[in-house]
Amino acid sequence: MTDLSQFDPNSVGNPNNNIFGLPFSEEDARLVILPIPWEVTVSYTAGTARAPEHVFKASIQVDLFDANCPDGWKQGYYMRETDKKILLKSDYLRKEAELYIDYISKGEEVQKNKFMCKSLREINEGSLFMNQWVYEQTKGLLDKGKLVGLLGGDHSTPLGYMKALAEKHGDFGVLQIDAHCDLRKGYENFTYSHASVMYNALTEIPQLKKLVQVGIRDYCEEEWNYICNSEYRVITYFDRDIKERQYEGETWKHISEEIINQLPEKVYLSFDIDGLDRKLCPNTGTPVQGGFEIDEILYLVKKITTSGRQLIGFDLVEIGVGQTDWDSNVGARILFKLCNQLIRSNS
């Protein structure tokens, strides 16, 4: 049991401690954050694989008082070290993917190039390996009774975690905050693309009964058709529709309650930071104009717990790394609030 008698939560964060300057070990922490340094299939800007390290550094500046959950941190938050083998594998396969994406962008046929065929196979095998690794890591933590938050990395990273949660909790729903649907099938021939994570989750996890997407503003016809033919397994709140409803007088409270009412009793939060206004995440992988303020999303997440539903886990992904630490600074504060809400929902 961690002794907090000499720990001052009002003092400057201690960089020799763990995430948010907290003095917990993994054994004593109730909530463990698993960093996933992976960005192999990103289709625009890379950098998010190294976000966990930057978020960790920025977290030391986060104040520990949260009026919505004042003592949540006292139950213990701990972030594992980044697995360097996963990062090195991501770096290697990312270079392969860049060459491959450049090749197909010129209209070349993959089947005619043995090197590109080999690269595609290695990338898909690597992504499958990463999914299994995430599954094993998160399952191990869940089996120990830990709450788990996943810190990406690109949006392909949480699939293994959702599978582990399905085994533990049975039926559940996903609340996805995102600028993109991520419902493409094998985007760019990458089976486990960041743009395919929700398609893969719906295909491979029968316990996933409902996907509710919020803030979508960049999508293709294939994804639109998937939503329309999903028999309401997928409910999408497009960014433009939300804003039009607000322009015409509806409150965010009313819309948030409607969104939450679409979800089952157990809810997993998948938070792609590009769901926010770009000023808050300028270096995210695929930025899109529009999006939310942080407080709007935190209010929506709070509604999960006040509705009587259980938040069973979360991921926070696609945080970019730029010349300044602004993205990491924002990401660290969101991460702290999500940890608090996960604790609050499981108290």
Q: How does pLDDT run across 75-129, given as a tens digit for each residue?
A: 999 999 999 999 999 999 999 999 999 999 888 888 889 999 999 999 999 999 9
Q: In this predicted structure, what is the pLDDT of residue 218?
A: 96
The residue behind tokens 């979508």 is 216
Whether 4 maps to a domain, the answer reads: no
- The yes-or-no verdict on residue 179 having pLDDT over 80 is yes
Residue 95 CA to chain centroid, in angstroms? 23
Whether 303 maps to a domain, the answer reads: yes
Q: In this predicted structure, what is the pLDDT of residue 3?
A: 92
| Whole-angstrom distance, CA of residue 260 vs CA of residue 222 | 26
322: confidence class by pLDDT, cuts 50, 70, 90: confident
Whether 2 maps to a domain, the answer reads: no
Q: In this predicted structure, what is the pLDDT of residue 214?
A: 98
Whether 108 maps to a domain, the answer reads: yes
Query: What is the percent of the chain where pLDDT is above 70?
Result: 100
- The yes-or-no verdict on residue 323 having pLDDT over 90 is no
For 131, the token pair is 């999914």
For 206, the token pair is 């029968």
DSSP state of 161: H
Q: What domain range is 130 assigned to? A: 19-345
Cα 128 to Cα 125, 174, 204, 261: the distances in Å are 5, 22, 13, 34
Contact 8, 58 (CB under 8 A): no
Q: In this predicted structure, what is the pLDDT of residue 47?
A: 86
Beta strands in 178-294 (DSSP E): 208-216, 234-238, 266-272
Mean pLDDT of 293-313: 97
| Whole-angstrom distance, CA of residue 209 vs CA of residue 263 | 9
N-terminal to C-terminal alpha carbon distance within the chain? 18
Q: How does pLDDT run across 191-241, given as a tens digit for each residue?
A: 999 999 999 999 999 999 999 999 999 999 999 999 999 999 999 999 999
- The yes-or-no verdict on residue 324 having pLDDT over 90 is no
Helix or strand or coil: residue 87?
A: helix
Q: How does pLDDT run across 38-62, given as a tens digit for each residue?
A: 999 987 778 899 999 999 999 999 9
For 49, the token pair is 């694989």
Mean pLDDT of the chain: 96
Find the CATH number of the domain harbouring 109.
3.40.800.10
Whether 7 maps to a domain, the answer reads: no
Residue 302 CA to chain centroid, in angstroms? 17
Number of domains in the chain: 1
The residue behind tokens 């582990």 is 164
Q: In this predicted structure, what is the pLDDT of residue 1?
A: 80
